[in-house]
Structure 1
């Protein structure tokens, strides 16, 4: 659906050249909700704006439905862009226009018949839950309602691709949740491919199928949301995951462990799916001559699958601890030893 091949983007001034994107290779399949996450200045906004040519790449290729945008005429680029909707961080609504007029604007610019415009806008108002706000003005709306108008406007021309540029970062957590549910509804009911950028890993967890981590204009890690959350490979990805899962040992707990049992063995156990509901530690305590001290843990849901972790201390003879460790591995549960000052 969307493919970046060796994508580059440079900004030049009199004194220097800044490379915002450096050889991006990435594919977003049809029907996916794909997230790109990175810190400020990583290049994520530039990347998404290259899809609809708000930014023109300086190298590489951007393919949308197999068409290389850099080889198309301006007229053909406009045709491709008609199939791409975009939702902005700060809504970008026309303050002097009503909600109805804001949503209708893309259709008006296309010269669509008034009857068709009315029918489409009313359909979208109902879809985003704003049927009673058609005559209101943006200043009369909450932040969440403004973003719903922005989403409805982006859907006006019935695009097959929806770009979301930090679509929830200006919203409170509760409103963010409702907007993410709306985006999932759009993906499911309209079969629209969604590419979203964000700096919030909770957004990635709650709505995306796949994710890419961008840093310094390069993709440093990508995969399914489950793979990245359960086994992040880079330090940046690990930091993003930790911001959501909070799987580091609290300092007060570390101090207690070091004070009372400095030679204790600490282990991190990951539970996935059905294993999350099994009494594994109870079985281990009964089967082996070890004491189990649960230090920290939590559980979340990734793409509808329970995923949790525990940090535990195993006390006992070295041989018994080793036997318990091997038994846990045989239960298809991920376990690794950690030290008291690590996660």
Structure 2
């Protein structure tokens, strides 16, 4: 477990002090894959570096496995840090050392016996899929292979906590996916708690069960990933979510909707879990005297749970649209009325595009 208790960090920039962290309160439970997301300068790198005291907090406490590392003796701190592995964005490998020697480095520093080092390094290299690269040097490896070496090195001392500092941002999408799958395996098979910082919402979506969103040194919201995706409270979080789950009709589609005799309203319907598989649009069109024009929609998966949205135009008289709307709301989905400018005003539109369902 990792607890950040009112953690602040101030850097002295001469005449101007920089508040990198402002009273952060987060709890990372044992077994979590906890993501911290934010734009550059949000303070997330500073935050993760306080866990192993690469940065000391100016105030507050960082409690790791029940202990405040900042209050430990130098000897006890060295021992405690062996329980915390760290993966870096740019790998931080020694180019003059082989893959085997890079992974063995933490064990050599811990004065482990030669036989024990050999067995452990070979075991970890098999786990990360690099057993045939032990005698290679970093400049002979791809970016993904270098990061696997970094991961193997971080696992060498059998840590219970793994810190990932933008571990995939230097990698292409396919390699990123393979590294994320490896991190999931580490969490599941070794029962290691993972704290990962990133500016990519795709990373959060793929492997994290909980997330904190940072902005300007503060945590602006945090919680279960599914809850954050389904009910974001801040515009920053909504912007991150839109990078992986698009929920706005392209402006070109709105441009084709002009005033006509029909009365219509546009709604965004959010689906989560079982409701994602329900034929809500078809049921509504059959039950009520309305036409439903599907403007836009997508679906993705969060922790194995379907999540997505539809944006539809409902066409008919006002009373019948109200009845249809109430029926949709009763299907355990979230419904929001929208128009071209994002407001909730009613509007008259001509039905020219999309797949219409007529009741």
Q: TM-score range by the shorter chain?
A: over 0.9
- Residue 284 of structure 1 aligns with which residue? 284
- Residue 25 of structure 1 aligns with which residue? 25
Q: Distance in 2 between matches of 1:5 and 1:304?
A: 32
- Residue 75 of structure 1 aligns with which residue? 75
Is residue 194 of structure 2 the alignment partner of residue 174 of structure 1?
no
| Greater alpha carbon shift after TM alignment, 37-46 vs 70-79 | 70-79
- Residue 216 of structure 2 aligns with which residue? 216
More helix by share: 1
Q: Provide structure 2 residue ranges, at least 5 long, that are not aligned to the other structure.
A: 344-359
Q: Distance in 2 between matches of 1:230 and 1:179?
A: 26
Asked if the contact 1:257–1:340 (Cα under 8 Å) also holds between the matched residues in 2, the reply is: no
**Matched position secondary structure for 2:243:** helix
- Residue 154 of structure 1 aligns with which residue? 154
Deviation at 1:273, TM superposition (A): 1.6
**Matched position secondary structure for 2:212:** strand
Pairing 1:128-167 to 2, within 5 Å after superposition: 128-167=128-167
Deviation at 1:260, TM superposition (A): 5.6
Q: Distance in 2 between matches of 1:196 and 1:257?
A: 44
- Residue 249 of structure 2 aligns with which residue? 249
Q: Provide structure 1 residue ranges, at least 5 long, that are not aligned to the other structure.
A: none
Pairing 1:112-123 to 2, within 5 Å after superposition: 112-123=112-123
Q: Return closer, same or farther for 1:130/1:61 CA change in 2, 3 Å cut-off.
A: same
Pairing 1:267-282 to 2, within 5 Å after superposition: 267-282=267-282
Deviation at 1:47, TM superposition (A): 0.1
Deviation at 1:257, TM superposition (A): 2.2
Asked if the contact 2:254–2:340 (Cα under 8 Å) also holds between the matched residues in 1, the reply is: yes
Q: Distance in 1 between matches of 2:203 and 2:278?
A: 29
Asked if the contact 2:264–2:313 (Cα under 8 Å) also holds between the matched residues in 1, the reply is: yes
**Matched position secondary structure for 1:9:** strand
Q: Distance in 2 between matches of 1:261 and 1:14?
A: 67
- Residue 354 of structure 2 aligns with which residue? none
Task: Give the paired residue count.
Answer: 343
Asked if the contact 1:248–1:342 (Cα under 8 Å) also holds between the matched residues in 2, the reply is: no
- Residue 310 of structure 1 aligns with which residue? 310
TM-score normalised according to structure 2 size: 0.94
Q: Distance in 2 between matches of 1:255 and 1:222?
A: 37
Deviation at 1:75, TM superposition (A): 1.7
Q: Distance in 1 between matches of 2:296 and 2:250?
A: 8
**Matched position secondary structure for 1:204:** helix
**Matched position secondary structure for 1:232:** coil
Deviation at 1:297, TM superposition (A): 0.6
The list of structure 1 runs, each at least 4 consecutive aligned residues, that deviate by more than 6 angstroms after superposition, is none
**Matched position secondary structure for 1:120:** helix
